Structure 1
Amino acid sequence: MVQLFSAFDRETIQAKMAEEEFDLVIVGGGITGAGIALDAVSRGMSVALIEMQDFAAGTSSRSTKLVHGGLRYLQQFEIKEVADLGKERAIVYENGPHVTTPEWMMLPFHKGGNMGKLSASFGIRLYDYLAGVKKDERRKILSAKETLAKNPFVKKEGLKGSGYYVEYRTDDARLTIEVMKKAVELGAKVINYTKAENFLYDAKKQVVGVVARDRITGKVFDIKGHRVINAAGPWVDKVRKMDYAVNNKHLRLTKGIHLVIDKTKFPMEQAVYFDTPDGRMVFAIPREKKVYVGTTDTVYEEMVINPKANEEDHKYVIKAINYMFPDVHISENDIESSWAGVRPLIYEEGKDPSEISRKDEVWFSESGLITMAGGKLTGYRKMAEKLLDEVSKALAKETGKKFKTVQTHHLPISGGDVGGSKKYRRIHREESKRRE
């Protein structure tokens, strides 16, 4: 019987979780946990996943909504990070063309700015090479006149031109859900509004499962597994504190916010990635009848659940908008809505939030608890692959089972099995014509 991804099957899923012993028990239902679940179940592992809120309720629904290669990381000389993310970008697109859309980005450069025409051209060319960008999506360098033709609101004073390159726009929450649905389709047992309250240990003090509480009914039940993976994003350290063995590594949480403005106030049709007076980079992205702009990057030490954009955040982004688009005259009265998310970055002493690497790390505890820390939306599949390449070997040796190698390079997520991006675009065009 095929397990449905449905709240109507909640009791059945819960019962199976309590009855079975799984290869993996995953704590966290954001993109990281969903990616691990899909990779594991596609290799032949049995998987149980719990999420204390709704799926993608945390950082995975509060991003800049881009699957991107991290062009700005070149400035920090994180060459491998750029190469990995750039290549992953294409894989995510091909596996889910229905939730990812190519978006031409403009990177303006001005006299005295962070990037000159030569450095921008070199940087984007290097980016194309590292990321293995497809020929029809490789960078172009636009003159000042060409730049203003595409976006007449860009600051004209000192404008020397712009780089023009492709990223992929996405719906981050939907991407997470589609990955999770595919994992369920292949056999994973997943349930939301279920919190890990403690760990189960064997006689050797090794983690062998979790004590879970259904936050809707209050029911407490055990979920047993050969390996427990902590993929709780900003809550990673809170989950680790339930374990007796905690290493000296920890997260540095930073907050990023985005403002939403109607196109009647900010009539922009061309996405722009621009530098601010303090040297940070900010996106301004048109989407249907709105434009959203962000993000900030500030140390965050408040409640992780439901972070808010405050007045200081608003002022920072508005100042950035009016710096790069001085003719639009945006004020706080023009803000229609906003969202805020918390980034689970790996702490690096002495570094400013915007300088901390977005890399991911795997932490192995003496108790056997495995923690996936850091990372980005774009890199979710690769993060899971690296982790499970290692875990599957240990599990195979321990259980005598045989697991496949990674299967997710060319595994369409739920709804994405349409023959790749080219076929999807053709289907989409035909459907649009039919509706006309």
Structure 2
Amino acid sequence: LGGKFDQLASPAHRAVARQAVRESLVLLKNKDRLLPLDPTRRLLVAGDGADNLSKQTGGWTLNWQGTGTVRADYPNADSIWDGLRAQVQAAGGVAEMSVDGRYKQKPDAAIVVFGEDAYAEFQGDLPNLLYRPGDDTDLQLIRRLKAEGIPVVAVFLSGRPLWVNREINAADAFVAAWLPGSEGAGIADVLLGTVQGKVAHDFKGKLGFSWPKDALQAMNNAGQPGYSPQFPLGYGLDYADPGELAALPEVSGITGVQGIPGVYFARGKPAPGMNLSLAGPAGQAPVRADTLPASLPDGSLVATAVDHRAQEDSVRLAWSGTAAARAFFSTEKPLDISREANGDVMLVLALRPDARAQGKVSIGVDCKQACPAQLALNDLLDGLKLGEWTTIGVPLKCLQKAGADMTRLESPLILESGSAWQASLSRVSLGSGSEAQHVLGCARN
């Protein structure tokens, strides 16, 4: 088929891909035989993975990490929502899409599609098997729908088994869908029955990896001494099997507050082990800004809570220009992100410029024992629209070239200005270039 580009996304090839999706789905739970769902009824489709081709396809697809893409990048693909909507409507039912699960009319059942964001190496590395530590958004969505008397089918998108016992317990049915790629309609083929109430396509998938019973069970291979997984290698129900599942233990085995690796600020709060502080001239004690509002004593820098996607999920930083001041994140333990710096990873900021900078603004990092690196931010800021959220990326290699020791960072972000300037931040994290709409060059400050 080399060079036969007319065969790309041909009906025959897409049919095979769709079959692969159907046959790779693994059913872990089916309480009261909720599945298959009746396509003639009113169904709610919720969750941030339902209409998200980036989540479906994962990393090493259109780009390295699989992030920063838009729907138009997948012209010959069906999202999970596309497939469900088409089949429900064809059967005479009603399908409603709502990421947050807020519906116009109470549905007969809900399908919540959630899971890992796209990743590859570096960004996808995990210290344990926790799913989205510190972020229970998906769990809360499932529990809220259940509390409203709605049966819930959970469809989990991931490139690996993760500890999701709470989500499995909360849902009536749970499907490990892995990364279905471009043919999201293959999921609808199995989850939905026929108009006559029959099974359209049965579950055939079996676990190719043992599923962990806690978030520390990384050594979990069949045949190993002490092998005791939550679900063993080869496990997987079909529609003929009893789908009941006793409540799973909800103790992860991880102690202390956990954060998502590579995320320094999100949902209005610094990550666990991270602090946000404001500082003026040398010699003055920094002011912690973990609780907002916060201000330097002379008012030269003020931090207040603002809204982006949710109430007070962001921080606005306002420099008065009366004195030089900086806002910075600091860690309780030094960060070693030298591997990421060698792998073309960036420091990515979700930022909204609220007022033009009246003088020099710099972005940088530092170590406690002095390895400062600063880059001028003005040229990039001048090209941004005021009042509009965007993402900017700062290559870690640029900061490394400017003097940062990436093996022992203790301030992974410093914003500094001696003049009046205002900007809001909703997220600070490591990411790939595809996640940044604007990328800063490597010129020194």
TM tier, shorter chain?
under 0.3
TM-score, reference length from structure 2: 0.22
Q: Which has the larger radius of gyration?
A: 2
